[in-house]
């Protein structure tokens, strides 16, 4: 399964706002529209946002290659894309990587396209490596809880947390995956359950508020989630609700893992207090798909992510292997190519 394609100098995105009801592919040739697609979550998930932004910079280069002051036009395009969503650091990582190339090579469209394709390709390889490393942590007959969607749809393919689950399932180790529905936008229900059902991996969909009782019943052996940005000390942002799960897992003595490629690590910030947490509109809380779920005039609070302190993490799964505490030292030793 894939959510991003580059064909004939255009970007195609699987519209994730419509899944699972419809599988619609949208075509983009204007980077401004791509920025809007990221903001409105046609495409979402930290690595997928980075890959999409890289291709959007190719669109910007196509538009500006024959005009004057190419670097200035590219910087403007970069700023538009950088303003789309603030939390996932992969967006800024991919934009910086593309910028290094256009500053050194200029409007070299084949090279820029190849760089975006490389970012895409490398992401899939990192996910597969992460899957192999993470599967080692999964016991036979495991019942695994996950949150939001950190699958093929959130990445270049295969997935981070779902990559670990896919690899463990291929080894015959997974007896059940519990997918939190993940209000307000239901990525767990609409995307994770959809991916796992398609891959015939046993999945049980639960409402977010059922996770604690599920753990208390002894039905969860481990929790694995994705990550949008990890600070130098291992504190990390992920979909709202992740922190609650980590606290619950600690209380119940259940291992709690996050899986992430090294492009999701932000060594420039010392801890999670520095992660910019996106606030989204109240209409996501007061309704879903146009149906009211609360009074329209009620006050709302809608942070899209929360920050989990590293103390609650059992281990971090990366493409370079499994990191154990102390995470600050382990992360400092992990250099992304």
- Contacting residues toward ligand MRU, per CB under 6 A: 44-47, 88, 148, 150, 154-155, 160, 187, 226-228, 238-239, 304
User: What is the rounded CA–CA span in Å between residue 192 and residue 27?
Assistant: 24
Residue nearest to ligand MRU (CB): 226
User: What is the rounded CA–CA span in Å between residue 49 and residue 89?
Assistant: 9
Nearer to ligand MRU, 64 or 238 (CB): 238
User: What is the rounded CA–CA span in Å between residue 240 and residue 187?
Assistant: 11
Shortest spacing between CB 274 and ligand MRU, in angstroms? 18
The gap between the terminal CA atoms of the chain, to the nearest Å, is 26
Contact present, 320 and 292 (Cβ < 8 Å): no
Which is the catalytic residue, given 123, 180, 221, 228?
Answer: 228
Nearer to ligand MRU, 61 or 317 (CB): 317
Contact present, 43 and 3 (Cβ < 8 Å): yes
Shortest spacing between CB 321 and ligand MRU, in angstroms? 18
- Going by C-alpha positions, the residue among 138, 87, 20 that lies closest to residue 240 is 87
Token pair 């259940």 is found at: 254
Nearer to ligand MRU, 150 or 211 (CB): 150
- Going by C-alpha positions, the residue among 171, 177, 192, 183 that lies closest to residue 304 is 183
Q: Is the torsion defined by CA of 285, 146, 248, 271 positive or negative?
A: negative
Shortest spacing between CB 69 and ligand MRU, in angstroms? 33
Nearer to ligand MRU, 101 or 119 (CB): 119
Instruction: Decide if 208 is catalytic.
Output: no
| Beta-bridge mates of residue 237 | 229, 307
Nearer to ligand MRU, 150 or 214 (CB): 150
User: What is the rounded CA–CA span in Å between residue 225 and residue 41?
Assistant: 19
CA–CA distances in Å: residue 213 to residues 1, 90, 205, 256, 285? 32, 34, 14, 17, 24
Nearer to ligand MRU, 228 or 266 (CB): 228
Shortest spacing between CB 38 and ligand MRU, in angstroms? 9
Shortest spacing between CB 329 and ligand MRU, in angstroms? 24
What φ, ψ does residue 177 adopt, rounded to 5°? -110, 130
Strands 321-323 and 287-288: unpaired
What φ, ψ does residue 42 adopt, rounded to 5°? -55, -40
What φ, ψ does residue 308 adopt, rounded to 5°? -100, 125
Shortest spacing between CB 86 and ligand MRU, in angstroms? 11
The residues annotated as belonging to the active site are 228
């Amino acid at each position: 399964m894939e959510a991003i394609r580059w064909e004939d100098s255009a970007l195609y995105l699987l519209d994730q706002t419509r899944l699972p009801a419809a599988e619609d592919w949208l075509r983009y040739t204007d980077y401004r529209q791509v920025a809007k697609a990221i903001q409105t979550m046609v495409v979402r998930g930290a690595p997928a946002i980075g890959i999409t932004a890289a291709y959007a910079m190719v669109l910007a280069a196509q538009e500006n290659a024959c005009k004057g002051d190419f670097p200035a036009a590219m910087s403007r395009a970069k700023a538009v894309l950088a303003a789309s969503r603030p939390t996932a650091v992969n967006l800024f990582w991919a934009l910086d990587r593309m910028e290094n190339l256009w500053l050194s090579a200029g409007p070299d469209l084949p090279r820029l396209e190849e760089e975006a394709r490389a970012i895409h390709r490398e992401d899939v390889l990192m996910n597969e490596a992460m899957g192999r490393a993470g599967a080692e942590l999964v016991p036979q007959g495991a019942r695994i809880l996950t949150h939001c969607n950190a699958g093929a749809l959130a990445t270049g393919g295969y997935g981070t947390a779902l990559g670990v689950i896919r690899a463990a399932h291929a080894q015959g180790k997974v007896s059940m995956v519990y997918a939190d529905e993940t209000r307000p936008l239901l990525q767990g229900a609409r995307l994770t359950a959809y991916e796992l059902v398609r891959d015939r991996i046993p999945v049980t969909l639960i409402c977010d508020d059922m996770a604690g009782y599920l753990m208390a019943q002894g039905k969860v052996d481990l929790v694995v989630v994705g990550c949008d940005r990890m600070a130098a000390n291992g504190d990390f942002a992920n979909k709202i609700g992740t922190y609650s799960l980590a606290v619950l897992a600690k209380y119940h003595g259940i291992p709690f893992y996050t899986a992430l490629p090294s492009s999701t690590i932000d060594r420039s910030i010392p801890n999670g207090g520095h992660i910019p947490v996106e606030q989204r509109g109240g209409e996501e809380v007061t309704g879903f798909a146009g149906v009211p779920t609360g009074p329209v005039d009620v006050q709302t609070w809608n942070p899209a992510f929360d920050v989990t302190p590293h103390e609650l993490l059992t281990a971090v799964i990366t493409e370079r292997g499994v990191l154990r505490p102390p995470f600050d030292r382990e992360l400092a030793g992990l250099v992304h190519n």
